Amino acid sequence: MMKRSKHNIYPALRIAGLFLVAALSASCSTTAPGPRPAANAAYVSMAGPVSLPTPLRQDIYHTVAPGETLWRISRMYEVDIKTIKKTNRIKDVRDLDIGQRLYIPSAAPRIDIVTLYPGRKWKYIIIHHSATDHGNSEKFNRAHLNRGWKGVGYHFVIDNGTCGKDDGQIESTPRWIKQETGAHCKADGMNEKSIGICLVGNFSIDRVSPAQMRSVVYLVKQLKEHYNIPSSRILGHGQVPGARTECPGKKFPWKTFNSYLRR
């Protein structure tokens, strides 16, 4: 179980982060050939848990998560693709494996890249918990592959500081990057029409960390606005008609979540 601060809950909502919307520039055409956003997609980049006035760059290692391309990793740390390729002796940008450790020289503090794609497919947002005290996108990907699914069933995973990820880190999964149907809520046909967000943790016994709350509120706000999803269609998994589950946990702080969402 993780130790969490009891005071200063959700203090950082004010540092909502950098909101960047930009069209895909021509310079991107030489970058990763993997799943790439449409030309008119918007990019939302979010400040990391520690928002520093001057980026303090340092050499780091990064473990490749499902769906991550060199394009994405390059933007996460503001290091150009050529440098990452050269340092890691990568010949082809497609030669990237889940779990591969990359050396990123002079990396800026991580920024979570959330791409907002065009489309009218997404009508609901469903919040889940992992019902585990640890995890990340890679772990759920493996678990869901073992169930015979096409990899991690959620569209986003919000980490809790375990399994090598930062507390509050937002991971976009391949299902989001490829704009595919989820595998997170069968009830009421939600897999086809909803965006699935999983917070790592078991919120029947544990608390949502302040960093996770900050991230889920930020993420839901961006998605809600971009896809024009009303608040009444932002549901916990267990609130979906026909779903028999207490997910995202009996103690999920709906009051706090909803009040921050309204701000």
Q: Which residues bind Zn ion (CB under 5 A)?
A: 128, 237, 247
Q: Of 78 and 246, which has the nearer Cβ to Zn ion?
A: 246
Q: Measured from the CB of residue 248, what is the shortest distance to Zn ion in angstroms?
A: 6
Q: How far is CA 114 from CA 46, 119, 143, 145, 222, in A?
A: 8, 15, 24, 24, 9
Q: Of 155 and 237, which has the nearer Cβ to Zn ion?
A: 237
User: Minimal CA–CA distance to 229: which of 111, 135, 116?
Assistant: 116
According to DSSP H, which parts of the chain are helical? 70-77, 81-87, 137-146, 174-177, 190-193, 210-227, 254-262
Q: What is the 3-state secondary structure (H, E, C) of 24-47?
A: CCHHHHHCCCCCCCCCCCEEEEEC
- State how far the Cα of 219 lies from the Cα of 228, in Å rounded to an integer: 14
Amino acid at 260: Y
Q: Measured from the CB of residue 153, what is the shortest distance to Zn ion in angstroms?
A: 9
Instruction: Fill in the DSSP letter of residue 113.
Output: E
Q: Of 64 and 198, which has the nearer Cβ to Zn ion?
A: 198
Q: Of 66 and 196, which has the nearer Cβ to Zn ion?
A: 196
Q: Of 165 and 237, which has the nearer Cβ to Zn ion?
A: 237
